[in-house]
Amino acid sequence: MKISKASLFTTMTFAIGFMIPALGFLFPETFFSNQQKISQFVYNFGYLAPIIFIGLSIIPVVITPLNHGAFGIVGGFIFGPWVGFLLNWMSKMIGTYINFTIGRLIGRKATKKYSKSENFKHYNTVFNKQLFLLFAGLTINDTLSYMAGVSTMKTRTFLILTFLAHIIPAMTLAYIGSGVSLKDPLFFILTSIILLIALFYFIIKKNKLNKT
């Protein structure tokens, strides 16, 4: 069976996107993930520690394939499960929005210049109609935020997706870092609520797309 150039283009885009963070997971010592060093460095700033922590945590989100997971765990260790979660979530939101903006300002021009219009249209279809796949991808892969910026996805849609997609991972890392069990009933309840809200949002978006 012959694979179209548009399908090949899309497959390679997603493959590269998932490969980069996988390298950070397989070789964490190479990608700036020494938790004790990060923790000690942040402690030294006293009351400015939360701001410094957010600033440091943004770096591995923007500069792939640095490992953000270590920062998320350290956030829970230093600040506790809830403040750690909030700081983790804020850093991910800010970092992925920076990525999205870079993709929009730089990546889109390059893509339009070096790829055929039919490939670009197919790429946009994937990012605008397969929102659930993008939501799932964003929970583990910051590189997709660059790719979303290249597409014609609306900024509002991207922000809603990242708002929902980063809550559970940020909370999970903070829980692990603070030593609180993931079997905590509150964690289960909040996770379920977020997933239900996300599902409700996807149903609404799908109905709107079907009407257009």
Whether the Cβ atoms of residue 138 and residue 100 lie closer than 8 Å to each other: no
192-211 confidence digits (pLDDT tens): 998 888 888 878 877 776 66
Please tell me the total count of domains within the chain. Answer: 1
Confirm whether pTM is higher than 0.85. Answer: no
21-34 confidence digits (pLDDT tens): 454 445 444 444 45
**Interacting residues of 158 by C-beta distance below 8 A, sequence separation 6+:** 97, 100, 145, 148, 149
Of 88, 115, 109, the residue nearest 177 (C-alpha): 88
Q: Burial of 211 by CB count in 10 Å (0-12 exposed, 13-18 middle, 19+ buried)?
A: exposed
Whether pLDDT at 140 is above 70: no
What average pLDDT does the segment 126-144 reach?
Answer: 69
Residue 207, CA atoms < 13 Å, CB-side half-sphere: 6
SS3 (DSSP) at 2:
coil
Owning domain of residue 174: 5-211
What percent of the chain stands above pLDDT 90?
A: 14
What average pLDDT does the segment 174-185 reach?
Answer: 86
